[in-house]
Structure 1
Amino acid sequence: MTDDELPELPRGIALAWGVAANPQRGPKREMSVERIVDAAVELADAEGIGAVSMAAVAAKLGFTPMSLYRYVSAKDDLLLLMQEQGTGLPPESHRALDGWRARLLALYQEQVLLYLRHPWMLSLPITGSPITPNSSAWLDASLATLDDTPLNAEERLAVALAITGHARWCGIVQAGYSEQARGTGLSPDEVAAREAALFDRVISADEFPALRRAIEDSVFRSASDPFRFAVERTLDGVAAYIAALERDATHSLSDDWITIDPAELAGDRRLKEAQKSVREAEKALRAARKLERQALREAGERLAKVKKSG
């Protein structure tokens, strides 16, 4: 593709960059893309992403839905602009920190806070690389933290994506607990305690021995942050990798992506039936192993009684 054949920017992305054509006519000068997005974000923050529709946003602004379409022609474009506003720009404060690790960890923490402020953002699908200004600024900031390291361009991107993934996963879980707390009236600690009690009720040592030991060690009641532990250990690995590069060690990224077979994507009927049979067989195997463990336990108890009586 030549420069003359570059694809046209989708309207949502063009709006985000401020290069979309303005509507030729509108209902009133008070209407603008910015006001529409502000109203939509307020709705989502208060009631969740499900409350956001072109009609609801129009009603909030006192206009008709058709008035909005002159500015934002599709709901997908509105969602993109909402995500862009919710994302905002990365804070400048991380630049003052010493070293790539501290700066990257600060960006991780700020990304988690974004999701806690706007949990509806976690419901929006990931459709590709960030192309909007604010999303691009966050990726640029993460890559810039690694400027003084010996990592190559591919490796820097891999590290940036890993930290972003950690932040998103942490945000998903924490936002879920917060939403459950709002819905039940319980505090987050009370929600965690109720969850621990439910685990304690259904998880047996016979069927899930490692998980049962974890429950008895009170992992679900612990105040420690498992997500911070995970991201710190990821950074440990990056630091070790950088140290190896500085010793002139040779490394390379794997080019083997995890992929799914095209036949499965195509929804082949015979393949689906075969996969269903496999799931049913696995379920039967789990049930048989559960019976086996139960029989072994009961046999052991009987043997112990015989030895004790003898």
Structure 2
Amino acid sequence: MHTDNTSEAAGQARELPVVVQRLWGDAAPRRRGPKPALSVAQIVDAAMALADAEGLAAVSMARVAEAVGYTPMALYRHVSGKDELLILMSDAMATDLPDVPMEAGWRAGLEVWTRAQIDLALSRPWMLELPLSAAPPGPNRVRWMDQAFGVLREVDLPADEKLAIVGLLAQHVLGEARVHVETHRAAVQKVRREAGLPDSTPEAELDPAAVEAADPYADFEAVLGRYAGPTEYPNLFASFAAWPGTAVDAPADDDISFGITIVLDGIEAYLRRRGAIGEAAPCDATP
């Protein structure tokens, strides 16, 4: 039987970029002598701590060097520059993601997988400014992808379709997290401005209720209900005219869960159409 090993041979022959080798611990062997006091892990940890405290814009080779107690030149012996540092940071962030319960089933597992990434982005907003789309996959991000494939192991789909589902959820993570992060930043800035406080005022010193009330979307439904008239906006008017003005019957406990539920509903419908999972049992089914 003939086997086409062209792609495999090409992959073996091609020299991967140094940053990829460094991500996977496959850098050139270290020369003899005492172990260097500074490591890539220390540099990345310092950069992430700096981003946590002051945002990604504060991360520079000079600032990171100061944080680890070395000169910038010493950093360049381990990291080629800021672009590579950001790639290393994007992979290191994945170590903060929890393990996904494999026994929970594909849908519950993907819900945990998706929510964990949104929560991480909300706790570390600078994640959204990293060049995620351009960063090569490192061991920590691939480990996280492997967990998604783990919860999909009983789903009868080829690998490329499973990868497409994982990619769809990753896009939802970025969009959902960005909306929450940006609206929260806008609310915090509005409270500072209205209180006459400088931009450097820590959020911890602001009134949480005032920040919540300053959310740009806090009155969105009320604005539509009041100003979307029947002539200019007949479809909005018809919907909001029948709306009671409350969300007590919302299908999820918060808007993040609601978004994940809708996306997973669509994925489930696709899986059933493809015959990748069994048909749902009727609601009135008896044992």
Question: Alpha carbon RMSD of aligned pairs, Å?
Answer: 3.7
Give the Cα–Cα distance (whole angstroms) in 2 for the partners of residues 211 and 22 of structure 1.
65
For residue 142 of structure 1, the aligned residue among 148, 156, 172 is 148
Determine helix, strand or coil for the equivalent of 2:145.
Answer: helix
Determine helix, strand or coil for the equivalent of 1:88.
Answer: helix
Give the Cα–Cα distance (whole angstroms) in 2 for the partners of residues 3 and 233 of structure 1.
42
Change (3 A) 1:4 1:93: closer
Give the Cα–Cα distance (whole angstroms) in 2 for the partners of residues 63 and 214 of structure 1.
61
Change (3 A) 1:17 1:114: same
Q: Is the 8 A contact 1:16 1:81 kept in 2?
A: yes
Whether 2:92 is the aligned partner of 1:63: answer no
Q: Map of 1:99-118 to 2, 5 A cutoff?
A: 99-118=105-124
Change (3 A) 1:203 1:149: same
Whether 2:159 is the aligned partner of 1:153: answer yes
Give the Cα–Cα distance (whole angstroms) in 1 for the partners of residues 267 and 129 of structure 2.
30
Q: CA deviation at 1:190?
A: 1.8
Determine helix, strand or coil for the equivalent of 2:215.
Answer: helix
Whether 2:171 is the aligned partner of 1:165: answer yes
Q: CA deviation at 1:195?
A: 5.1
Give the Cα–Cα distance (whole angstroms) in 1 for the partners of residues 276 and 62 of structure 2.
61
- Identity across matched positions, percent: 35
Whether 2:214 is the aligned partner of 1:191: answer yes
Give the Cα–Cα distance (whole angstroms) in 2 for the partners of residues 217 and 89 of structure 1.
41
Q: Is the 8 A contact 1:44 1:120 kept in 2?
A: yes
Q: Is the 8 A contact 1:84 1:135 kept in 2?
A: yes
For residue 183 of structure 2, the aligned residue among 177, 185, 197 is 177
Whether 2:263 is the aligned partner of 1:240: answer no
Give the Cα–Cα distance (whole angstroms) in 1 for the partners of residues 257 and 14 of structure 2.
41
**Structure 1 runs, 4 residues or longer, greater than 6 Å off:** none
User: Which segments of 5 or more consecutive residues in structure 1 lack a partner in the other structure?
Assistant: 249-310
Q: CA deviation at 1:18?
A: 1.2
For residue 46 of structure 1, the aligned residue among 34, 46, 53 is 53
Q: TM-score under structure 2 normalisation?
A: 0.71
Q: CA deviation at 1:165?
A: 1.6
How many aligned residue pairs are there?
247
Change (3 A) 1:94 1:79: same
Q: Map of 1:196-215 to 2, 5 A cutoff?
A: 196=219, 200=223, 205=229
Q: Map of 1:1-310 to 2, 5 A cutoff?
A: 2-3=9-10, 6-21=13-28, 29-88=36-95, 90-97=97-104, 99-128=105-134, 130-183=136-189, 184=191, 185=206, 187=208, 188-192=211-215, 196=219, 200=223, 205=229, 225-246=254-275
User: Which segments of 5 or more consecutive residues in structure 2 lack a partner in the other structure?
Assistant: 1-6, 192-205, 278-287
Give the Cα–Cα distance (whole angstroms) in 2 for the partners of residues 123 and 156 of structure 1.
27
